[in-house]
Structure 1
């Protein structure tokens, strides 16, 4: 009888823990974001033609065509995805909610992932701050699943910020990014910070929209820590008008493995909601 009571109390405690909205992972995410916001200097300028001097032609066309000229420069961005397809491993795809913040003054990025595995809460924290990148996963709010860190993560996190510079366009104008023209629809960009550099190529369409970014400077690291080299692409599509500026509605991420492409983030084309601050 006492054993049964202990088991029932334990199960009830687990149920209450799962129902409680807070967690250490969420607290760490909020603390990181709140700290950066508190120490971020508010931008007071607007995007102007003078900002475009010296940039490759397709980059200039992006700012003009997508309506940023004359609008306020952002200090940071919040992007929120809901019910996104995410490939957790070779045999498992899950649905996730994904909320991220990208900061301008310094290339920093923090993202919180919420989902479930076998009806048990699963959380992730994808972060890059002070030059250090990491990807942590937690099951049941308290059980660590993985914690990927190191030089490969640092560089991969930095290149992700570069890949997303046109969804928070003030980043594209910062001194830590340099540009090299290729042709009328392609431009190479290099991001350098904390002693790390990474590069990739953006592709633009005839409307001036940035539609993809490809690089070999991002490393594929799975839950077990296995490292794999492959080309990586970010895709931006379905541009929509949002208060006078054009933003992509759908963002995807793809690994180009030898055996074939893997759309590991947002194959179901869930819509992203972008807000500037």
Structure 2
């Protein structure tokens, strides 16, 4: 699983475009006002338009269901811009001894969630239209953290008010949308969508409201990034927070 993941990452790196362009005021002039404020607050203007990055996570916890305990995972993630792609690798041990590996992929407009025990036993291998939408909306939720995504043709923005903006993604026939919330400083604080599918058991899934929350902005290489992240299902009977972690850095991946 790890070798497969790293091979997929390297393939995307090899295909990526290395740009020497930098963000300018002209790039953001047609974006909704709170999105423009975010670009300025984070310090992107005048910085390189990075096209493929590694998210550096620390202290990540995951919960399998609302009534299950939290457990620690190792989480590696890479995002790519010009042809939108997101690859994440998860490693943990169940019961403290049984190795579990997962791979979350969004590539060529298609999503796939693959999980294995003991490197061989497949627990799940989710494909199809529903995971395609869910993977696209997850990518959309992170588009401002890799801000060159926000300027691509496959993402469209619509103004709402001084602290909210709607964005939609359309790629390879898959569409999804959500709402971004910003504070008055310009920090992107929350993304909400009704278009992500949650596993409801017995091989079925259904749309539920989903929220990603970000906080505690820190400065890295003259750029401000959120260092705390949570993912939450907003279910009719109450919120189910299932992912929380510390984002310590976003690193440019050299092509060679």
TM-score above 0.5, yes or no: yes
Contact 1:185 1:203 in 2 (8 A): yes
Task: Give the drift of 1:37.
Answer: 0.3
Specify which structure has the higher proportion of helix: 1
Change (3 A) 1:131 1:204: same
Task: Give the drift of 1:165.
Answer: 0.6
Specify which structure has the higher proportion of strand: 2
1:265 aligns with 243
Contact 1:214 1:232 in 2 (8 A): yes
1:57 aligns with 2:38: no
1:33 aligns with 9
Contact 2:55 2:247 in 1 (8 A): no
Contact 2:106 2:136 in 1 (8 A): yes
Task: Give the drift of 1:142.
Answer: 1.0
Secondary structure of the residue aligned to 2:159 is strand
Which one of 88, 101, 107 corresponds to residue 123 of structure 1? 101
Contact 2:137 2:196 in 1 (8 A): yes
1:147 aligns with 2:111: no
Counterpart mapping for 1:148-163 below 5 A? 148-163=126-141
Task: Give the drift of 1:223.
Answer: 7.1
Question: Please, which moves more after superposition, 25-34 or 223-232?
Answer: 223-232
The higher-RCO structure (CA 8 Å, 6+ apart) is: 2
**C-alpha separation between the residues in 2 aligned to 1:247 and 1:228?**
32
1:84 aligns with 2:84: no
Contact 2:73 2:91 in 1 (8 A): yes
Aligned length: 251
Task: Give the drift of 1:226.
Answer: 3.2
Change (3 A) 1:224 1:109: farther
Under a length normalisation based on structure 2, what TM-score does the superposition of the two structures give? 0.94
User: Runs in 1 of length 4+ with deviation above 6 angstroms?
Assistant: none
CA RMSD of aligned residues (A): 1.3
1:198 aligns with 2:176: yes
Task: Give the drift of 1:271.
Answer: 3.9
**Unaligned ranges ≥5, structure 1:** 1-24
Q: Can you list the C-alpha shifts for 1:245-277, whole angstroms capped at 9, x where unaligned?
A: 1000011111000110011101xx434432134
Contact 2:66 2:240 in 1 (8 A): no
Change (3 A) 1:222 1:36: farther
1:95 aligns with 2:72: yes
1:225 aligns with 2:210: no
**C-alpha separation between the residues in 1 aligned to 2:213 and 2:202?**
27
**C-alpha separation between the residues in 1 aligned to 2:115 and 2:186?**
38
2:225 aligns with 247
Task: Give the drift of 1:90.
Answer: 4.1
Q: Can you list the C-alpha shifts for 1:148-182, whole angstroms capped at 9, x where unaligned?
A: 11100001000111000111010011111010000
Which of the two has higher C-alpha Rg? 1
